[in-house]
């Protein structure tokens, strides 16, 4: 088996694995599939995690995961799909960051791995066993990679920053009873 074919099969395996996991997580958020809570429950959870407004945050997160994961698995618009998924996983990693690295203690291991895998696939490209290859890589151009990852990085920075500001405002002042803190 030639090295090029091995690379294409390896990229396909990575795209299918990471894309399927991302898609399933997004479907949990959007539709309540696979034991998920659906959009309303996810929106409430997003609010509790400091993402406001919750419904818009849940929709964006679900679409980044389900849409990005599906497109990544298919190898279609790979840079944009990968950037959307990586940006969504940056937000998820921010939620898990205080718990440390390993997933067993609630850490960011799982979302970070999904985000880095998606980003790596977006930069490496989908390989020849992909819909991008069938379309002549029209959506897999260097300018698409740069635009998609820049946009995703800026969006993730803004969303994570807004969440951090909201959480900082919600914390009670030192010496203040937590039950008396700001309820917004």
> pLDDT tens track of the chain, all 184 residues?
667 999 999 999 999 999 999 999 999 999 999 999 999 999 999 999 999 999 999 999 999 999 999 999 999 999 999 999 999 999 999 999 988 899 888 889 999 999 999 999 999 999 999 999 999 999 999 999 999 999 999 999 999 999 999 999 987 666 655 443 333 3
The reported pLDDT for the residue numbered 184 is 33
Residue 176 covered by a domain: no
Residue 114 covered by a domain: yes
The reported pLDDT for the residue numbered 182 is 35
Q: How far apart are CA 140 and CA 132, in angstroms?
A: 7
**Could you tell me the residue range of the domain that residue 35 belongs to?**
9-170
Q: Helix, strand, or coil here: 96?
A: helix
The reported pLDDT for the residue numbered 183 is 36
**HSE (CB half, 13 Å, CA atoms) of 48?**
6
Residue 41 covered by a domain: yes
Residue 78 covered by a domain: yes
Residue 1 covered by a domain: no
Tell me the CA distances in angstroms from 93 to 50, 103, 112, one per residue in order: 14, 11, 6
Q: Exposed (0-12), middle (13-18) or buried (19+): which is 85, by Cβ within 10 Å? A: buried
- Cα-atom radius of gyration of the chain, to the nearest Å? 18
What domain count does the chain have? 1
Residue 163 covered by a domain: yes
Residue 128 covered by a domain: yes
The reported pLDDT for the residue numbered 171 is 77
Residue 94 covered by a domain: yes
């Amino acid at each position: 088996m030639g090295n090029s074919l091995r690379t294409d099969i390896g990229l396909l395996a990575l795209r299918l694995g990471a894309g399927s996991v991302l898609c399933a997580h997004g479907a949990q958020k959007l539709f309540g599939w696979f034991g998920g809570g659906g959009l309303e429950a996810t929106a409430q959870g997003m609010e509790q995690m400091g993402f406001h407004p919750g419904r818009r945050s849940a929709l964006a997160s679900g679409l980044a995961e389900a849409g990005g994961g599906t497109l990544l698995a298919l190898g279609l618009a790979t840079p944009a799909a990968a950037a959307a998924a990586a940006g969504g996983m940056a937000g998820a990693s921010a939620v898990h960051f205080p718990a440390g690295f390993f997933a067993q203690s609630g850490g960011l291991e799982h979302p970070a791995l999904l985000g880095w895998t998606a980003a790596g696939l977006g930069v490496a490209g989908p390989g020849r066993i992909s819909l991008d290859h069938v379309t002549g890589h029209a959506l897999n151009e260097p300018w698409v990679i740069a635009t998609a990852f820049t946009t995703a990085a800026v969006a993730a920075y803004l969303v994570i920053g807004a969440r951090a500001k909201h959480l900082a405002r919600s914390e009670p002042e030192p010496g203040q009873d937590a039950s008396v803190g700001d309820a917004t």
